[in-house]
Amino acid sequence: MGLSPYVPKPVKIVRIKEETPDTKTITIGPKPFDFTPGQFAMVTVYGVGEAPFSICSTPSDNNLQFSIRKMGSVTTAIHEASPGDEIGVRGPYGRGWPLGEMRNRDILLVGGGIGFAPLRPLLLHLLENSNKYGRIAVCYGARSPSLLMYRDEFGEWMERGVELYLTVDVGEGDWKGNVGVVTTILDKPNLNKAETIVCTCGPPVMIKFVLKKLVELGYSEENIYASLESKMRCGIGKCGHCHFGGKHVCVDGPVFRYDEIMELPRGISPF
Ligand SMILES: Cc1cc2nc3c(=O)[nH]c(=O)nc-3n(C[C@H](O)[C@H](O)[C@H](O)COP(=O)(O)OP(=O)(O)OC[C@H]3O[C@@H](n4cnc5c(N)ncnc54)[C@H](O)[C@@H]3O)c2cc1C
Ligand code: FES
């Protein structure tokens, strides 16, 4: 008889990095499974519990990374862990970003706060395979400059050809960039809008206004995808915790296309 799908694989924490004042990026390894950008995994802290997190490293990395914001018991336990500690991980789960649709197309990534976590593996994968894709633009916003994740990578992304537009709700310190919500910079990328594939992730209210604005700007509904979040327990379509209007977010999502999002009921739909 095979092992239960609920049994996590033991892995060691290799590194922990302070990403923002409330978020740490943990590196675990060696990677116990392959994945595609946009998928998530269930992370177990023994004796505390488990929770779903987007995998934020590139699929070509031998380790896995997660950027984790401190919320409750599991995330606090992860924030208190140290390199060398053992945790459990099972996955990969869910439907990731539509890589097949992106071939030879321009791509726009729109992130809000910690919502950039599932977009980072996509961005890194696109950069590693840039001959297969068109231009890449990123619009990324956070409440304040210190809450922008992956700041130490921005320079390298731009050197590798990414058009990067940043914004914050409230400027602080020596911030000289745009101030305003992320919809205020969506008109900046110089892309072939009708053909561009757009991938977005962030708080539900951000996703709602981003989707509306994208359509207003001329992006095609059929090319817009968003990663949605819901409460989850099993991660494999069995427990019903993430079941909305005939869809399991853990299996049918977390990435949904615009038309699928429009059909989702209240409770999961950002509208
Ligand atoms: C597919 C998916 C991917 C995710 N990716 C990430 C990620 O990359 N980084 C990250 O930091 N978090 C991510 N989350 C959210 C993360 O799973 C929750 O923050 C975590 O479960 C909280 O666990 P806890 O035991 O620390 O807190 P709990 O004690 O369970 O809860 C603390 C507080 O957080 C709220 N909460 C719990 N789960 C969620 C949720 N899914 N959405 C919104 N609020 C929640 C609770 O209502 C409560 O108010 C993701 C969730 C899903 C479903
Ligand atoms: S989390 Fe159990 S069905 Fe989706």
Tens digits of residue pLDDT in 122-149 = 999 999 999 999 999 999 999 999 999 9
pLDDT band at 1; cut points 50, 70, 90: low
Give the CA count within 13 Å in the CB-facing half-sphere of 173: 6
Q: Are the C-beta atoms of residues 245 and 263 closer than 8 Å to each other?
A: yes
Task: Specify whether 87 is located in the same domain as 103.
Answer: no
Position 266 in a domain: no
Position 129 in a domain: yes
Task: Specify whether 109 is located in the same domain as 54.
Answer: no
Neighbour count for residue 83 (Cβ, 10 Å): 12
CA 249 to ligand 2 center in whole angstroms: 7
69 Cβ closer than 6 Å to some ligand 2 atom: no
pLDDT band at 82; cut points 50, 70, 90: very high
Distance CA 6, CA 225 (A): 29
232 Cβ closer than 6 Å to some ligand 2 atom: yes
24 Cβ closer than 6 Å to some ligand 2 atom: no
Which of 25, 28, 53 has most ligand 1 atoms within 8 Å of its beta carbon, as the pocket-test mutant?
Answer: 53
Task: Specify whether 202 is located in the same domain as 116.
Answer: yes
Task: Specify whether 37 is located in the same domain as 117.
Answer: no
Task: Specify whether 221 is located in the same domain as 156.
Answer: yes
pLDDT band at 265; cut points 50, 70, 90: confident
Q: What is the pLDDT of residue 2?
A: 67
Position 267 in a domain: no
Determine what percent of the chain is predicted with pLDDT higher than 70.
99
Task: Specify whether 60 is located in the same domain as 139.
Answer: no
Task: Specify whether 158 is located in the same domain as 49.
Answer: no
CA 238 to ligand 2 center in whole angstroms: 6
Task: Specify whether 32 is located in the same domain as 47.
Answer: yes
pLDDT digits (tens, 9 = 90+) for 19-72: 999 999 999 999 999 999 999 999 999 999 999 999 999 999 999 999 999 999
CA 232 to ligand 1 center in whole angstroms: 9
- CATH number for the domain including 68? 2.40.30.10
Q: Are the C-beta atoms of residues 166 and 178 closer than 8 Å to each other?
A: yes
- CATH number for the domain including 110? 3.40.50.80
Neighbour count for residue 221 (Cβ, 10 Å): 13
CA 130 to ligand 1 center in whole angstroms: 33
Q: Looking at the chain, which runs of residues are DSSP E strands?
A: 9-20, 23-29, 40-45, 49-54, 64-69, 86-93, 107-112, 136-142, 163-168, 178-179, 197-201, 224-227, 243-244, 247-248, 255-257
Position 59 in a domain: yes
Of 1-5, 114-118, 151-155, the least confident: 1-5
Task: Specify whether 159 is located in the same domain as 185.
Answer: yes
Mark which of 27, 58, 93 sits at the end of a domain.
93
pLDDT digits (tens, 9 = 90+) for 207-242: 999 999 999 999 999 999 999 989 999 999 999 999
Position 241 in a domain: no
CA 139 to ligand 2 center in whole angstroms: 31
Residue 66, domain extent: 9-93
pLDDT digits (tens, 9 = 90+) for 233-251: 999 999 999 999 889 999 9
Which of 228, 241, 247, 256 has most ligand 2 atoms within 8 Å of its beta carbon, as the pocket-test mutant?
Answer: 241
Position 3 in a domain: no
Position 269 in a domain: no
Q: What is the ipTM of this complex?
A: 0.95
CA 166 to ligand 1 center in whole angstroms: 25
pLDDT digits (tens, 9 = 90+) for 170-197: 998 899 999 999 999 999 998 999 999 9
Nearest to 209 by CA among 191, 183, 189: 183
Task: Specify whether 106 is located in the same domain as 196.
Answer: yes
pLDDT band at 269; cut points 50, 70, 90: confident
Task: Specify whether 195 is located in the same domain as 170.
Answer: yes
132 Cβ closer than 6 Å to some ligand 2 atom: no
Q: What is the pLDDT of residue 9?
A: 96
Q: What is the pLDDT of residue 158?
A: 98
Position 244 in a domain: no
**Number of domains the chain contains:** 2
Task: Specify whether 69 is located in the same domain as 121.
Answer: no
In this predicted structure, the answer to whether residue 84 has a pLDDT above a threshold of 70 is yes
Tell me the ligand closest to 231's alpha carbon.
1
Q: What is the pLDDT of residue 266?
A: 81
Q: What is the pLDDT of residue 271?
A: 84
Mark which of 69, 93, 117 sits at the end of a domain.
93
